[in-house]
Structure 1
């Protein structure tokens, strides 16, 4: 019920304008267990047995490249362990501890392999009137990130900074402001070290039909260019949703998403460059299965 984290500022509009607009081919399969043991093998080399909440296998084809990953999520009381193996030989382990000693406090440790020096420790704290996120790299000269938001569920103001201890420079400093009521969310953020200003707007027109509209305007002060994106979504029925968006660069996108069973989605996306119709349009397909 509080202001959330800094990443939540403008998130509703970003999700409306960007979420599920994939022009790749993607397949995701997730299986769940309540408390039973799960056997699985990776490349027929490693075989393990443990209590597991979910195992997800995903594969994405982009152009001629195929990227795949297998992810296992285990949860015991307030501790969640997430292990992900990818096709580019990366093993990523994330340990999350909820309610870490204080209500609203969360601790997250991420360790990649083989590059363990790229690991990160993170702390999040959510309060009725504040949201704080701090992280630092697990190496001798880490990158330190800090973001904080003050306010409530109606209005919030926040800042997001990053400091590189190796160079002694601030690599990022952003600021944001958001206003929220029952059916409208407006946000303004200053990004890229003050070089760009983004204003976003989200309006829930009809809650029953999940009909909403949104827009985002970004002004780059260095290039003196403006980018405008607007979009909408509407539920044709309780299981089928359509979305569309268009930006000032002439890119038009549309998608239709059908939930053919609970938590299982089929999404078809198309994108057209209206300023160059001679180019082939892009078509994306996503299938998410969660038995």
Structure 2
């Protein structure tokens, strides 16, 4: 089993609860294209409920003879001109080498993976400098990880988190403690060939608020379509439908409802094309 990155310890449950619910965005579009010389382009756009719009563009070149890939420009807003290159070193060590315009920032990212370890380090060389590192160790499905941020100029830790989990082919569970170990979350995810089910409970020790709960399910209707539904402890429910129209083209429909205010106009319905 591959050891996930720290941010992905509870990815299965988080994806089930958060992805494909199209009501979260008023409109989205994603276009992918490949050129004959192995350059892949992806353009995305999004319009929010507040009428704000944003766009991003990404280009990658794959050198199949060397097994390397170069990011021509990373996923970012189209107004940004920061460029960076990604090279693979020794098979399991990844080094991000940036080249940037003045005042845009210089960042260096490192990743190291082995069969029972996954470590990452993110450096902002002009801001601070600052460093964010995380690491996960695993054995027979059991995982334990931690992350921390450090500001060199202030000589101070800027934040830290921890997590434990268990991953098996058909189910996973995780407990995370973020925001300096003040926000706790427990998640569970189970899957078979047709149905996925998951739940997440969250508690903020600083605010002393009640435990928040979300449950979700995904049902595969056929090989090209699926439906999802979720509801939280506040009575807000969401449903979605996704169908593959043809290779590379999908249609998504989503809606949310406040079950405690069905008579009020608080509901959202959206369509997404990718």
1:8 maps to 8
1:282 aligned residue: 268
Give me the whole-angstrom Cα distance separating, in 1, the residues matched to 2:75 and 2:189. 36
Contact map agreement 2:163 2:174 (CA 8 A) in 1? yes
Give the total of aligned pairs.
266
Of 108-117 and 235-244, deviating more is 108-117
TM-superposed CA distance for 1:94, in Å, is 3.4
Q: Deviations over 1:250-282 (max 9, x none)?
A: 221111001112232111111122233313311
- Decide whether the 8 Å contact of 1:218 with 1:227 is kept in 2: yes
- Equivalent runs, 1:195-206 vs 2, <5 Å: 195-204=182-191, 206=192
Please identify runs of 4+ aligned residues in structure 1 that moved more than 3 A: 84-88, 109-115
TM-score (norm 1): 0.85
Kindly report which structure 2 residues correspond to 1:135-174, keeping only aligned pairs within 5 A, or say none: 135-139=122-126, 141-152=128-139, 154-174=141-161
**3-state SS of the aligned residue for 1:15?**
helix
1:140 CA displacement: 6.3
Q: What CA deviation, in whole Å up to 9, does each residue of 1:19-43 have, x standing for no partner?
A: 12232211111111242xxxxxxxx
Alpha-carbon contact 2:57-2:78 (below 8 Å) kept: no
TM-score, normalisation: structure 2: 0.89
SS at match of 1:91: coil
Structure 2 contact 112–120 (Cα < 8 Å) conserved: yes
Q: Is residue 25–residue 285 contact of structure 1 (8 Å, CA) maintained in 2?
A: yes
User: Counterpart of 2:15 in 1: which secondary structure?
Assistant: helix
- Any conservation in 2 of the 1:132–1:149 contact (CA below 8 Å)? yes
> What is the SS of the residue equivalent to 1:125?
strand
Which among 199, 203, 210 is matched to residue 219 of structure 1?
203
CA RMSD after TM alignment: 2.0
Structure 2: runs of 5 or more not aligned = none
Paired with 1:127 and 1:59, the residues of 2 have a C-alpha distance of: 36
Residue 212 of structure 1: how far off its partner (Å): 0.7
